[in-house]
Amino acid sequence: MKPRRIAIFGYNKLGQEVARHLCRTPCELLIVDNDAEALARAGERGFDTVRCDYTDDSELARVGIGRDIDLIFCLLGDEAQNVFLVISVRALAPDMVIVAATDSIGSEQKLRAAGADKVIDPFAIAGARISDLLERPMVMDILEQTVFGQADLEMAEVPVVREGGLVGQRLSEVSVRGACNLVVVGLVRSGADREVRFATEDWHYRLSAGDMLLLVGPAADLERFRAEAAALDASRGR
């Protein structure tokens, strides 16, 4: 499967953190900025970079918007620039997945109206983590080591494909599949709402093509699970 091509617009502190985590995943990452110094810093860290005028549609098209970019992060420091960028990208690529950052409720509403699929408030996330750190220090320590990559545990999305061996299985059967030490957190059912449902709610649900499994486990076991599913896909295609 071809890795997703992701563009990060804005190599500020937030952009650097997003890039640092994304580079651990199977994706092709592109840093886009109009600041030569920011691009130089990104280049020193080994990232592919391109200088771009966000206000020029031809420049956005040159970057790959509407052609081969699958997902973008709008992380510019100015609210108006982020809103304008989302509008421009949505016009060029109606099916593009757009994630934007905000620091205010009013900005979130504007970004969603402009066409952003996901809007993230990093300050709200940081505040919640600080609160949890004080109230649940051991739980947060585990989350820090797993979700943020300090331990050999990962969270993963595994699509259920029509030709695969997962179709028709109950969610409860997936957790004991093979010798993989995986935990099924939940799934996103195929359909328009794309709502995340926890495994405890849908334990007896039978998987359908288009569903997305949400798993946690050691990186090696996740790769083994993907390989096993791919082998089943290939055997059915013969």
Helix or strand holding residue 186 (H, E): strand 183-188
> How do residues 100-152 score in pLDDT, each as one tens digit?
998 776 788 899 999 999 998 876 655 655 665 556 666 556 555 555 555 56
Q: What is the pLDDT of residue 74?
A: 96
Tokens of 101: 């950052």
Closest CA to 83 of 67, 104, 65: 104
Give 185 or 66, the one with higher predicted confidence.
66
Q: pLDDT class for 64, splitting at 50, 70, 90?
A: very high
Q: CA-to-CA distance for 95 and 155, rounded, in angstroms?
A: 25
Mean pLDDT of 73-90: 93
Query: How far out from the chain centre does Cα 226 lie?
Result: 18
Taking all residues of the chain, what is their mean pLDDT, rounded to a whole number? 81
Q: pLDDT class for 88, splitting at 50, 70, 90?
A: very high
Q: What is the pLDDT of residue 140?
A: 55
Dihedral over Cα of 107, 110, 116, 118: its sign: positive
Q: CA-to-CA distance for 168 and 151, rounded, in angstroms?
A: 33
Contacts of 67 (CB under 8 A, 6+ apart): 61
> How do residues 214-231 score in pLDDT, each as one tens digit?
888 777 888 888 777 665
Tokens of 46: 């080994």
Q: pLDDT class for 238, splitting at 50, 70, 90?
A: very low
- Least-confidence region, from 89-93, 133-137, 185-189: 133-137
Q: Is 193 helix (H, G, I), strand (E, B) or coil?
A: coil
Q: What is the pLDDT of residue 122?
A: 72
Q: What is the pLDDT of residue 62?
A: 94
Q: What is the pLDDT of residue 134?
A: 58
CA atoms within 13 A on the CB side of 3: 12
Give 172 or 38, the one with higher predicted confidence.
38
**Res. 89: pLDDT tops 90:** yes
**Res. 29: pLDDT tops 80:** yes
Contacts of 136 (CB under 8 A, 6+ apart): none
Q: Are 236 and 163 in contact (CB under 8 A)?
A: yes
Helix or strand holding residue 19 (H, E): helix 13-22
Q: Are 106 and 112 in contact (CB under 8 A)?
A: no
User: Rg (Cα) of the chain, in Å, rounded?
Assistant: 20
Closest CA to 119 of 96, 102, 103, 104: 102
* pTM score: 0.64
Q: Would residue 149 be called left, alpha or beta, if left means φ above 0 and alpha means ψ between -120 and 50 degrees?
A: left
Q: CA-to-CA distance for 187 and 207, rounded, in angstroms?
A: 9
Q: What is the pLDDT of residue 229?
A: 65
Dihedral over Cα of 205, 207, 208, 211: its sign: positive
Q: Are 183 and 142 in contact (CB under 8 A)?
A: no
Mean pLDDT of 48-67: 94
All domains in the chain, ordered by first residue:
4-120 (3.40.50.720), 152-237 (3.30.70.1450)
Give 218 or 27, the one with higher predicted confidence.
27
Q: What is the pLDDT of residue 237?
A: 46
